[in-house]
Amino acid sequence: MTERAEPGRTRRRGAALEDAILDAAARELVESGFAGMTMDKVAARAGTNKNALYRRWPHRLALGAAAYKRLATTAPVPDTGTLRGDVLELLRRANRHWSSPLGAVLRELLAAAGGAAEFLASLQEQSGDAAAPWLTVLGRAVARGEATPEALHPRVATVAVVLLRDEFVVRGVPSAPDDVLVEIVDEVYLPLVRGRGAARPSGG
């Protein structure tokens, strides 16, 4: 798939053109947020036309999510030696990210996605809030005997960050106080994890 070259402009195609578009979209997100990122602005900045964008991303939200992925970074999974310490550190990192300018872009994208479940999942993967680091710390806890293997479920592993996300997306807080993070860990996460695999009464 090629781009029609304009006078004085190098023709690009394939990965080179896609890379230029994503770079342009990422810069627009940083400078203007998702609300200010338009397909026209991205096309102009990338030195191409809107058709080149729409051939790759069906709408502005899809392009915004792809550009956000380019901006997001992944930090090493914490290893404090305890499940509580690991989960609290992951939450604190997530809180710092969501409170940052880049986090504001993520909140815009999530709000624009509305109730589109598949798209929300995609955004979570691109934000670094996927299940992998949470399953890693939970797996370590199982190996240490802090949790049972039944606790190793993606929904269980990520419940803490989902509750934190709701603080931002649903309640609209600019940043969650540390005591809220501690409460999520001590009052919800750890009791849930420790309760997985516990003996249940037989019968109906």
CA–CA dist 12, 22 (Å, integer): 14
Alpha carbon distances (Å) from 148 to 87, 100, 129: 16, 35, 23
Per-residue model confidence (pLDDT) at position 129:
47
8-58 pLDDT, tens per residue? 445 666 789 999 999 999 999 999 999 999 999 999 999 999 999 999 999
**pLDDT value of position 202:** 47
Angle between helices 159-169 and 83-99 (to 10 degrees): 20
The predicted-structure confidence for 58-91, as pLDDT tens digits, reads as follows 999 989 988 988 888 778 899 999 999 999 999 9
Give tens-digit pLDDT for 115-172: 555 565 566 555 544 688 999 999 999 999 999 999 999 999 999 998 998 888 777 7
Sign of CA dihedral 155, 85, 100, 76: negative
Model pTM score: 0.71
- d(Cα 106, Cα 113) in Å, to the nearest integer? 10
- Specify whether the CB–CB gap between 28 and 41 falls below 8 A: yes
C-alpha pair distances (Å), 88 with each of 58, 80, 82, 98, 129: 38, 10, 10, 15, 14
